[in-house]
Amino acid sequence: MIEFGVFYQVYNNKRAVRFVLDNFREHFPDNPITLISDGGEDFSVIAQQYDCSFHMRENIFGDDVNKYPKFPYNAYRTIEWWKRQKLTCEETGQDYVMIMEDDVLVQKHFTIDDSFDLKGVRIGNNFTGRMIQDVKESSGNDASLYGMCGGSIYNAKIFLSIYDDVIRDIETNMDKLMEEDPGEYNMLGAVDANLTYHFSKRGYIYEVAPWLGEVRDGNLDKPVIHQWKENY
């Protein structure tokens, strides 16, 4: 059976965080969680209550102080997000990592028996034509979808194995591509698209997660539900 750790980036919604962690811990009491405040509130007390590690980092999402746009991220902010994923992979020490968000409801336990690269929602978003072409030329993959939202899971061993190459790729190409052709490449500034794009460029496959449903899709009987906005 495959075990997974959890990456959970938070900001200031402590009610939502408690809701998410209450439900997750009811069904997964022992899975390691890395809780990271994106330059927001101090969640150290909550982290202790729910047996999470806690880290305070600079705000990269965008606010009135740093003046970052909420979308798209540039290379600097994207690399910082990748660094936080790397921290989670290394700190949790599991073969897989779940991406947690404030609008996720974990309502039952589930198990994973077979290995995979990364799995997310059924109704994902589409890469642009140039991104699809990049993936095809780099790896031969016919990848076109991404959907690594809250509740999705990726292979941490693969992540760590490609990390250095991806960081070099982002440093060298991302800002330039977004400046030269924003219509085709601004999507790289969405971290869920960015993660899937770089996995796909290196020959790894995005698949649908059988444990994950979304409110918009009506799959509310799944173990994990994304877009649960009750406390969001």
Q: How many CB atoms lie within 10 A of CB 195?
A: 24
The residue ranges of every structural domain in the chain are: 4-231
Q: What percent of the chain has pLDDT over 90?
A: 85
The yes-or-no verdict on residue 161 having pLDDT over 80 is yes
The model's pTM is: 0.95
Interval 86-137: pLDDT, tens = 999 999 999 999 999 999 999 999 999 999 999 998 877 899 999 999 999 9
Residue 24 CB burial class (10 angstroms; 0-12, 13-18, ≥19): buried
Interval 166-223: pLDDT, tens = 999 999 999 999 999 999 999 999 999 999 999 999 999 999 999 999 988 877 999 9
The CATH code of domain 4-231 reads 3.90.550.10
39 conformational bin, left if phi > 0, alpha if psi -120 to 50, beta if neither: left
The yes-or-no verdict on residue 65 having pLDDT over 80 is no
Distance, in Å, from the CA atom of 157 to the CA atom of 131, rounded to the nearest integer, reads 24
Distance, in Å, from the CA atom of 224 to the CA atom of 212, rounded to the nearest integer, reads 5
